[in-house]
Amino acid sequence: MRTGGQFLLILLLVSVCSSCSDTMIDPFENEEKLFTIWGYLDQLSADHAVRVVPVTRFPENILSPTDPQAQIDAEVYSTDLTSGERIRWNHELSQLEDGTYGHVFKSHFLLNPRRGYRLEVIRADGKMTSAQTRVPGINSDTLFVRSPVVWEQDSTFVYQDITIRQIASPWDIKMYYWWEGGTAKQGVYVPYNRQGSRTNDGGWKIRANISEDQPAVWARVQWAQDTGLLTPTGTHHVFAMGIQIRILDGNWDPPLGVFDPEILAQPGVLSNVVGGHGFFGSVGLYAQEWSIEDISKSLGYPY
């Protein structure tokens, strides 16, 4: 499936493997649990995918496209709960990282933040497994509370503490810096993953290591000089910085804000699937930036 954060893929794989005991249930005694669903909707992409595993007395272990289990009695649909638009997803038998095959359903459509989506996996007899998610979205330009910039170690170490309000579990955090000079103007992203910690009031606190991030910017300046976008003596400066974060839907908030695979892999710890197992979520996007022109020269830029 697509990458939406390295840990997310690990979590899905661990969860599928750990739920093998759930799939070893006699179907005649398990009519209420039809399918295991793993997947999510991503606001940054128009291509979406979910893996579907039928709940049978034997664990899914498809070694070849000619195996009996390479066929699946299922159709997958998603519905935009605001517009009512219903889309049928396309089935693919996809080879997984371990060499086996899995049933993956894919679709192509743009997401709307703050809208709910319902996923349905329907058998030929009409019985269904379903799950719902609401794509997170925030309309605010004051989500971040920024402490003053701190200069330490003879002003060679520069950082700023930032509190992200309302978001208890941000995902895939990136600091970014805008610089310009000559004909070049670029944003440079520095990955922070999930650095930081949850605050007592349901937010997230993180430290922007401004001075330690600058080599990534300087590398792009050097690239601009090498390609002629900026002359070797051309003046340049950094004029803004910001944070981009991925927001998980409300169902995806892990216990105490900690993504521990050993905890989350336990059946029932993190699931929103009705009539089955697994999880179907969504990931939104939020970014906010501010001027740092006043400290550009102090960070080592010509002006």
Contact of 183 with 230, CB cutoff 8 Å: yes
The reported pTM is 0.77
Widest Cα–Cα separation across the chain: 77
Q: Which residue has the higher pLDDT, 94 or 270?
A: 94
Q: Which residue has the higher pLDDT, 257 or 210?
A: 210
220-229 confidence digits (pLDDT tens): 999 999 998 8
Looking at the DSSP bridge assignments, the partners of residue 157 are 152
Tell me the pLDDT of the chain averaged across its residues.
Answer: 85
Q: HSE of 104 in the Cβ direction (CA atoms, 13 Å)? A: 17
Q: What angle do CA 236, 238, 242 make, to 5 degrees?
A: 155
Give 133's contacts (C-beta < 8 A, 6+ positions apart). 40, 41, 116, 117, 119, 249, 251, 272, 280, 281, 282
Q: Which residue has the higher pLDDT, 187 or 266?
A: 187
pLDDT band for position 10 (cuts 50, 70, 90): very low
What pLDDT sits at residue 260? 53
pLDDT band for position 14 (cuts 50, 70, 90): very low
CA distances from 258 to 53, 101, 265 (A): 27, 31, 13
Distance CA 64, CA 67 (A): 5
What pLDDT sits at residue 64? 92
Contact of 6 with 246, CB cutoff 8 Å: no
Query: How do beta strands 157-164 and 204-208 pair?
Result: antiparallel
Distance CA 303, CA 279 (A): 50
Q: Which of 134-143, 264-273, 276-285 has the highest mean pLDDT?
A: 276-285
Residue 119 pLDDT exceeds 90: yes
Residue 72 pLDDT exceeds 70: yes
What pLDDT sits at residue 31? 60
Q: HSE of 12 in the Cβ direction (CA atoms, 13 Å)? A: 24
What pLDDT sits at residue 15? 43
pLDDT band for position 253 (cuts 50, 70, 90): low
Q: What is the mean pLDDT of residues 174-199?
A: 94
The dihedral sign for the CA sequence 13, 14, 20, 22: negative
Residue 263 pLDDT exceeds 80: no
90-113 confidence digits (pLDDT tens): 999 999 989 999 999 999 999 999
What pLDDT sits at residue 1? 45
Q: What is the mean pLDDT of residues 248-257?
A: 72
Residue 26 pLDDT exceeds 90: no
Q: HSE of 227 in the Cβ direction (CA atoms, 13 Å)? A: 10
Phi, psi at 224, each rounded to 5°: -65, -35
